[in-house]
Amino acid sequence: MSTQDLTPALCILNPDDVFNLRKNHKEDCYYCKTPYEVLEMKSQGISFPVEPHLQEGLVLTRESTGKGYYYRTDETDCRVINNRCLAIESILSYLGAKEFRYSETSSFRGKHSEDIDIEVGVKKGGIDVDSTTGVNTNTNKGKTGDETASAKWMSGYYSHESYLRAVNAAKVNGLITDPVIASLLEQRRPGHPNPIVSQEYHVNVTADLDKNIHVLEDISANLKDKIGGHLKVDVKTSRKVDQSSSVDFFVSFAPSPTEVYQQAIEDEKKVPPRGNRWLWPVIAIAAVVIIATVLIIVL
């Protein structure tokens, strides 16, 4: 299985449950896999969390890199948000930033709409329970937080290699699909005829997290009465659009060195036009045939 085929979430279910869903509820089995199918995916290089161990009922979320799955919790969400905020600064540095100021606003721990699931035979908060129930509540937790930071770089060094590192940092941290980051990378692309010098940007660093949490909610709701066991989904919060984490930042860049532009032009010349790339294999094969023919005639 290619990593491009990974679904936004994955639910590990008993083989009998998966068989029943695929036979009688095809619309609800899209995210469901048996433990054997998951082990097969793992053998093909798809990554899975060490903790919790793979088990029936476990619901996983696709990593931002798209190369595997992890068990999503509020703690993992906070870690992703923090890493992305730090990654933005690194990306700007690689792109030749001279000055950088940002303000991060997060209401991640603000008002939540919670769906509390109590699992069979577990102890929560010192209370033993042996039944399953669902309770919907609206609560207010914590306060909206604001963080500001600024940075300056000595030279605003910029090269083709540093641009590639910026692109890689965006991919690794799940920022490459953000339209603002994508636009920034294009505006600072080596060879761009009019590279950006300074600009203000706004990035929602939880856009994909907010979208994917609805997938987890849908899985829980759709499978509730159709499987024999219980789902293990630790994330129980549904953040609203205005309860996300966003970064507003201003950045100024040093002028792009002439050699960076020239290197980009040279690199583009080395790559055959997209529409004619098929000609090169044909030319190579034809050359081999001609050489072989000549050798046969000579011999």
Tokens of 173: 């941290």
Pairing relationship of beta strands 9-12 and 32-33 according to DSSP bridges: parallel
Longest Cα–Cα distance of the chain, Å, equals 91
Pure H helices in the chain: 15-24, 35-43, 74-94, 160-172, 179-187, 207-223, 258-270, 279-298
Give the pLDDT confidence score for residue 62 in this predicted structure: 92
97-106 β-sheet, strand order: 145-152, 97-106, 245-253, 198-204
Q: What is the mean pLDDT of residues 68-85?
A: 88
Give the pLDDT confidence score for residue 295 in this predicted structure: 52
Query: 97 - beta bridge partners?
Result: 253
Amino acid at 203: V
- Distance between CA 201 and CA 175 in Å, rounded? 14
281 vs 240, higher pLDDT = 281
- The band of 191, judged by pLDDT with boundaries at 50, 70 and 90, is confident
Pairing relationship of beta strands 198-204 and 127-128 according to DSSP bridges: unpaired
The count of C-alpha atoms lying within 13 angstroms of the C-alpha of 64, restricted to the half-sphere facing its C-beta, is 26
Tokens of 28: 């609800």
Per-residue pLDDT reduced to its tens digit, 122-167: 333 333 333 333 333 333 333 445 667 777 887 788 888 899 999 9
Give the pLDDT confidence score for residue 102 in this predicted structure: 78
- The band of 209, judged by pLDDT with boundaries at 50, 70 and 90, is confident
133-140 β-sheet, strand order: 133-140, 111-118, 237-238
Rg (CA), the chain: 26
Average pLDDT, rounded, for the chain: 75
